[in-house]
Structure 1
Amino acid sequence: MLTQSTAPSPLWQPGTREFKDSSLARFAARCGFEPSDYDALHRWSTSQSEAFWNELWDFTQVIGSRGDVTLERSSGEAMFGARWYPNGTLNFAENLLCGDDGRLAVIEANERGDLRRVTMGELRAQVSRAQQGLRKLGVTAGDTVGGILPNNADALVVLLACASIGAIWSSCSPDFGAPGIIDRIGQVNPKVLFAVSEYQYNGRRFHLGENLAEVLRGLHGLQHVVLVGDAGSIATGTTPCMSWSEFNSAEPRALQFEQLSFRHPLYVMFTSGTTGLPKGIVHTAGGVLLEHRKEHMLHCDVRPGDVMSWYTNTAWMMYHWVISGLASHAAVVLYDGAPIVKTADGLDLGMLWRMAEAAGVTHFGTSPRYLATLQESGYLPGRQHDLRALRSVLSAGAPVQPEQFDWLYQSVKQDMIFASISGGTEIIGCFVMGSPLHAIRRGEIPCKGLGLAVDVLDERGASVIGRKGDLVCTEPFPSAPLTFWGDNGDARYRAAYFEARPGIWTHGDLAEQTVDNAVVIYGRSDTTLKPGGVRIGTAEIYRVVESQPSVEDAIVFGVPVGGDEEIVLCVVAKDGNELTSEFAAGLRDEIRKRASPRHVPRHVFQVSSIPYTLNHKRVEGAAKATATGQAVKNLGSIINPESLAQYADLMQRGTL
């Protein structure tokens, strides 16, 4: 068991400023706690949760009305069905479109190194045009609107315009294949779809005409298509299509913000689709706003005038997380392109750091895979770029290895906070993260989020310290999903997070808490894949592979490599044929086109059989365990355990 005397030496420690002037220190003092005693503050925030969230609402100056009730619990339910601020009203967009007209709001960046700055006044004017455009198309509160858009200002404008009138936003990245988009946006039946006909990635232009035409054929109830960027055209069939300039033709006027309930749906976001269609998570406007205000202002110490960036796309929750920084009077960087660009001279590793230098980024968000690539390449951002504005680097999507902590403080900057954060799409936030009041130790996430009763339980349901267990949350919190989109949404939601432990949210992460109340995350406890820190599901890969005429069967799993995860695909050929490297190349290309580049397996092997359970389910965990030299826990449930022998030396064999 880890003790105080054997805890790793800090890589960074808070000083006088953090304990006196940080927002978290001021909030602690306001609530009657010493800033140095975070554990007491956290215990209060979970045991007196109503008082905590009310104090947070007032401290962060949420625009809206709390109403006269803070929390209503369902009869007999500890968490499921809890209603926060049942009489409260607010508008999400109004809280983000705040501050003086002249303050910096958005910095657009791309692979060419261009930066375009947008003031709050300019952003409001663009949102006003889009708001009027939506109303002309008949969009009202409760309607769903979809987006197939890159990470640029246009996407942000449409999202905020939807939120301003109470429409529900759901977005996908344009590099998803048509089936992946239909599996997601097709579930919400959008009234209006915003899409680009082309996008740029890694120095190449990709045209989406055929892909979008297939998407449109798969959507039901669509009334209008808006082609963003005025570039190219697509075949929309009988669905009316207009250009971005036509949609935005109105003159700006004062924005009108619909005052909606705290629980009004804001986003439908999708899980990875591990066992079927991706699950549509319905998030509320009030829950998202309160959780993000807490995380940004208190845990990340975001201040007015700061500049936040995160390498993400419009399908990942970190996009929605970073744009909420506008509510803290920070500017947000929207980067459209690859993090590492191939050039005639080789790989350009400095793209994001040049952007950070030029934009004056204070909070730089990334993934462990990106950091590992820089580390392996010997790149030294702190020596090659002026990062004097940088105060924090944050990482999400996968556990950060202890060696990466060392590299960051040696190669990026010593006087900064590095925060590995962990939560998920399901809560659109973080169960565990950093703070300006916590020392940074290699391999550890410093603290549990305020207001979140996070614990680690073993198979008995007992809280454990110094041992691995399931990450759970035992008390209600505002950013919990409203429901799952579609039929039987509440039942599916309950089954996903409360079936394992009735009344307790079981998140699906394998974790360990230390005696210092830090947390170590070891990864998902299910079969979700996370290459490059982006969660994807095996079902989407199976859907492509099984459509190949030469494939009899297949199994997919991930193997840990250098702090990240690489996808392994094992295929059984029909009629006992041999599969070639040309076949594997074609299969990878098909997966790239029909799912996304992130779904492409790094390793493809030919095997003779796939392990199955007695009820004929693939056993990805057993294949992965055997391939990585671990014990198979569920061997007794496998109908053909002899099939696992060929996976024992898999990673030493030549891949296709």
Structure 2
Amino acid sequence: MPGPTTLWTPPASAFTDSAMARFAREQGLDARRYDELHAWSISERDAFWSALWDFTGVLGEQGDVVEQPPHHADLGTTAGLPSLEHGHMFGTRYFPQGRLNVAENLLRGDGGRLAVVAADESGVHTRLTLDELRGRVAAVQAGLRRHGVTEGSVVAGIMPNDVDNLVTMLATLSLGAAWAGCSPDFGVPGLQDRIGQVAPAVVVSAESYVYNGKTFDVRAKAEQVLGQIDTTADLVVTGSPEWQSDFADTTAELVLERHPFNTPGLIMFTSGTTGLPKAIVHSAGGVLLQHLKEHVLHGDVRPGDVHSWFTSTGWMMYGWVVSALAAEAAVVLIDGNPSPRRDDGNPDCGHLWRIADDAGVTHFGTSPAYLSVLINAGYHPGEHHDLRALRFVLSAGAPVSPEQYDWLYARVKEDMVFASISGGTEIHGCFQLGSPVHPVRRGEITCVALGHAMSVLDERGAPVIGVKGELACTEPFPSMPLTFLGDGGTRRYHDAYFAERPDIWTHGDLAEITPRRSVIIYGRSDTTLKPQGVRIGTAEIYRVLDARPEIAESVVFGHATPTDEEVVLCVVLTDGHDLSAELIKSLRADIRTQASPRHVPAHVYAVPGVPVTHNGKKAEGAAKSAAAGQPVKNHASLANPECLTAYAALFS
């Protein structure tokens, strides 16, 4: 059976000039035979990661490439794995004698080159050269040092996506300390859930942030959080007199000592869709190497490119896009609403695209939710903007529907790479993503990432092709977490990803690897529906709904009955539409024919909103719990918990 429609084909130059092609040649391989390159990257893992270090010019010392378990980590209260069985994968550490400084790598290159473009709801307002960025990092580094931050400390941030947040994160990493970034739109409970886990030496907070033209206080929330958790952390507010005296010394010199490769670098919090957010500790070097692979090889990011992604500072995509600095590209920091309200009350769909024009963006990061906004508004970026610099559009956060692939090539640009990428906070990177040497096929993630031994496993635990199953990784890689923070953190880390299949990383996605070695993600396993005992993914329903102009947003979840699980569909309707019997019949018919009879919802309801986390992810579990009359475990992680009142009334 032929595969889906090919929407873009790489030119011949991609197989000679792209970084992927050049890297393959250096290993005696040909990028035209990606399967061979990928097989080498997982069968000769030591050689692959060492070659990647050299090819991307990582500044530092490698030492030995890998240390197999048994391994005893030195992570304070989470030290050691004495009660856990070690195997081939769990506990492996890459570059155990390696030393580097993440900030040194992100701040490398020509000092006069463009490094940062900052924008808000008014558009682009700041541009910094690399030398200017280095100067600001030096000043904040000196301030953090005055406040006692050293290697092994933790600094937490509560700031919007602005220059101060970037500079403080880089200064933290430059000292060998770990950065725990939180979005300022979290409420006090959400911030308390996160910062309360990390024992920071310093908390850096913004005074306020602006969204949709309105100013929101941050300082008061930060003070309240520190008053409620057990901490002796100093609170420093950007722009305050203390900031000006301790963190703005223009004469400070940047000191870049090198630290162990596996020094904790980023503490990332899961979105909290099923309970208290997990505080995942990532190694500084592991994340850097993972990101360089993804940017340089898979994204073909080149010196002088400009990479943007609309993201909060608490989402993993923030650290991901900032790492493009290590590829000597500029990064675009975007604060505020991506589609701020115009005077007539409608969203300004051209806002991010004007920023892209102004900044000369080559790599534009987005999400399926944002694409839906543009599609529903009938906005066609290619007709309104000069996108001649644009080479890649990338999307993360949820599966991209086939119709959204069509729209991107019809309404944005024909000659570009579209890369749907999928991985997670847990690995701070991608298991499957795009490539400059692969065709883009409608509705499919292009390829499995180099260095990752991915399989889809059926109920027997056997790898299958062309069949839905559990996405799993069977070989170690550098950006595996070091641990989870908190009591029993290492065991909780083990149980989260290795308990289901000993020494195999089970990621929690329902997925399919096609005969073309592309990947389709159907949704999270913990939100998989099981009507009549058959597992189906929510993404298959969303793909149908994304094509319906009557539907602005939707969420799907299961509702237990004494004998089965019924599919529940809740929709937010676009202006001018009602949930009539005819519309329900039409939606069910589309789902039946385009997905399957088992996907057809037993219940369809109109609701005022869909619960989402502060990172913009649908909180299907929260909707399900509210509808079942059960406590919502992740209430503090939701951006709009008030909408759950409607779900609680559905079956009451």
After TM superposition, is the score higher than 0.5? yes
Kept in 1, the 8 Å contact 2:52–2:293? The answer is yes
Deviation of the 1:167 alpha carbon = 1.1
Match of 2:92 in 1: 82
1:328 aligned to 2:324? Answer: no
Alignment partners' CA distance in 2, 1:91 and 1:77: 30
Question: Which of 106, 109, 116 is the aligned partner of 1:96?
Answer: 106
Kept in 2, the 8 Å contact 1:197–1:227? The answer is yes
Match of 2:125 in 1: 115
Alignment partners' CA distance in 2, 1:69 and 1:39: 24
Alignment partners' CA distance in 2, 1:331 and 1:606: 42
Deviation of the 1:248 alpha carbon = 2.0
Question: Which of 12, 15, 29 is the aligned partner of 2:11?
Answer: 15
Question: Which of 185, 199, 213 is the aligned partner of 1:189?
Answer: 199
Alignment partners' CA distance in 1, 2:362 and 2:244: 34
Alignment partners' CA distance in 1, 2:401 and 2:47: 37
1:505 aligned to 2:505? Answer: yes
Deviation of the 1:384 alpha carbon = 0.2
Structure 1 residues 448-457 or 73-82, which shifts more?
Answer: 73-82
Deviation of the 1:206 alpha carbon = 1.3
Deviation of the 1:602 alpha carbon = 11
Per-residue CA distance 1:33-61 (angstroms, 9 max, x = gap): 11100000000100111111111011111
Per-residue CA distance 1:466-522 (angstroms, 9 max, x = gap): 110011100000000001011111100000000110010000001001111000011
Match of 2:432 in 1: 432
| SS of alignment partner, residue 441 of structure 2 | coil
Match of 1:447 in 2: 447
Alignment partners' CA distance in 2, 1:654 and 1:466: 37
| SS of alignment partner, residue 319 of structure 2 | helix
Per-residue CA distance 1:217-239 (angstroms, 9 max, x = gap): 12322331111134xxxxxxxxx
1:65 aligned to 2:61? Answer: yes
Question: Which of 149, 174, 179 is the aligned partner of 1:169?
Answer: 179
Kept in 2, the 8 Å contact 1:308–1:331? The answer is yes
Question: Which of 136, 144, 150 is the aligned partner of 2:154?
Answer: 144
Deviation of the 1:128 alpha carbon = 0.5
Alignment partners' CA distance in 2, 1:383 and 1:328: 31
Q: Which amino acid aligns with 1:141?
A: E
Deviation of the 1:133 alpha carbon = 0.5
Structure 1-normalised TM-score?
0.81
Q: Which amino acid aligns with 1:219?
A: I
Kept in 2, the 8 Å contact 1:307–1:330? The answer is yes
1:292-307 equivalences under 5 Å are: 292-307=291-306
Match of 2:255 in 1: 256
Deviation of the 1:603 alpha carbon = 13
Structure 1 residues 213-222 or 9-18, which shifts more?
Answer: 213-222
Alignment partners' CA distance in 1, 2:54 and 2:33: 22
Alignment partners' CA distance in 2, 1:245 and 1:309: 29
- Gap change, CA 1:481 and 1:347, over 3 Å in 2: same
Give ranges in structure 2 of 5+ residues lacking alignment: 71-84, 530-538, 560-606, 635-645
Alignment partners' CA distance in 2, 1:505 and 1:309: 31
- Gap change, CA 1:199 and 1:20, over 3 Å in 2: same
Deviation of the 1:568 alpha carbon = 7.8
Match of 2:479 in 1: 479
Deviation of the 1:73 alpha carbon = 3.5
Match of 1:24 in 2: 20
Deviation of the 1:611 alpha carbon = 7.5
Per-residue CA distance 1:195-231 (angstroms, 9 max, x = gap): 112110112111235423321212322331111134x
Alignment partners' CA distance in 2, 1:43 and 1:597: 34
Per-residue CA distance 1:503-549 (angstroms, 9 max, x = gap): 100000010011110000111111499xxxxxxxxxxxxxxxxxxxx
Alignment partners' CA distance in 2, 1:528 and 1:181: 29
Structure 1 residues 105-114 or 398-407, which shifts more?
Answer: 105-114
Match of 1:551 in 2: none
Kept in 1, the 8 Å contact 2:107–2:325? The answer is yes
Alignment partners' CA distance in 2, 1:322 and 1:204: 27
- Gap change, CA 1:211 and 1:618, over 3 Å in 2: closer
1:412-423 equivalences under 5 Å are: 412-423=412-423
- Gap change, CA 1:203 and 1:442, over 3 Å in 2: same
Kept in 1, the 8 Å contact 2:315–2:615? The answer is no
1:610 aligned to 2:635? Answer: no
Per-residue CA distance 1:290-324 (angstroms, 9 max, x = gap): 10000000000000000000010100000000000
1:470 aligned to 2:470? Answer: yes
1:46 aligned to 2:30? Answer: no
- Gap change, CA 1:602 and 1:347, over 3 Å in 2: farther
| SS of alignment partner, residue 471 of structure 1 | strand
| SS of alignment partner, residue 11 of structure 1 | strand
Alignment partners' CA distance in 2, 1:262 and 1:597: 29
Kept in 2, the 8 Å contact 1:126–1:252? The answer is no
Kept in 2, the 8 Å contact 1:171–1:185? The answer is no
Deviation of the 1:76 alpha carbon = 4.9
Match of 1:319 in 2: 318
- Gap change, CA 1:433 and 1:79, over 3 Å in 2: same
Alignment partners' CA distance in 1, 2:379 and 2:22: 38
Alignment partners' CA distance in 1, 2:444 and 2:623: 35
Q: Which amino acid aligns with 1:47?
A: S
Kept in 2, the 8 Å contact 1:177–1:596? The answer is no
Deviation of the 1:67 alpha carbon = 0.6
- Gap change, CA 1:474 and 1:20, over 3 Å in 2: same
Give ranges in structure 1 of 5+ residues lacking alignment: 231-241, 530-556, 572-586, 621-649
Alignment partners' CA distance in 1, 2:622 and 2:23: 52
Kept in 2, the 8 Å contact 1:18–1:436? The answer is yes
Kept in 1, the 8 Å contact 2:527–2:557? The answer is no
Per-residue CA distance 1:557-604 (angstroms, 9 max, x = gap): 998452897458999xxxxxxxxxxxxxxx999x99xx8595898999
Deviation of the 1:619 alpha carbon = 13
- Gap change, CA 1:47 and 1:604, over 3 Å in 2: closer
| SS of alignment partner, residue 526 of structure 2 | coil
Q: Which amino acid aligns with 1:341?
A: P
Q: Which amino acid aligns with 2:258?
A: Q
- Gap change, CA 1:18 and 1:106, over 3 Å in 2: same
| SS of alignment partner, residue 334 of structure 2 | strand
1:227 aligned to 2:242? Answer: no
| SS of alignment partner, residue 7 of structure 2 | coil
Alignment partners' CA distance in 1, 2:298 and 2:196: 36
Kept in 2, the 8 Å contact 1:72–1:86? The answer is no
Structure 2-normalised TM-score?
0.81
Match of 1:349 in 2: 349
How well do the aligned residues superpose, as a CA RMSD in angstroms?
Answer: 3.1
Match of 1:582 in 2: none
Kept in 2, the 8 Å contact 1:570–1:605? The answer is no
Match of 1:272 in 2: 271
Deviation of the 1:608 alpha carbon = 11
Alignment partners' CA distance in 2, 1:123 and 1:425: 27
Match of 1:308 in 2: 307
| SS of alignment partner, residue 444 of structure 1 | coil
- Gap change, CA 1:559 and 1:36, over 3 Å in 2: closer
| SS of alignment partner, residue 187 of structure 1 | coil
Deviation of the 1:655 alpha carbon = 11
Deviation of the 1:84 alpha carbon = 0.7
Q: Which amino acid aligns with 2:176?
A: G
- The sequence identity of aligned pairs, in percent, is 53
1:562 aligned to 2:562? Answer: no
| SS of alignment partner, residue 418 of structure 1 | strand
Alignment partners' CA distance in 1, 2:167 and 2:625: 49
- Gap change, CA 1:606 and 1:454, over 3 Å in 2: closer
Alignment partners' CA distance in 1, 2:26 and 2:215: 53
Kept in 2, the 8 Å contact 1:23–1:301? The answer is yes
Deviation of the 1:382 alpha carbon = 0.7
Alignment partners' CA distance in 1, 2:181 and 2:123: 25
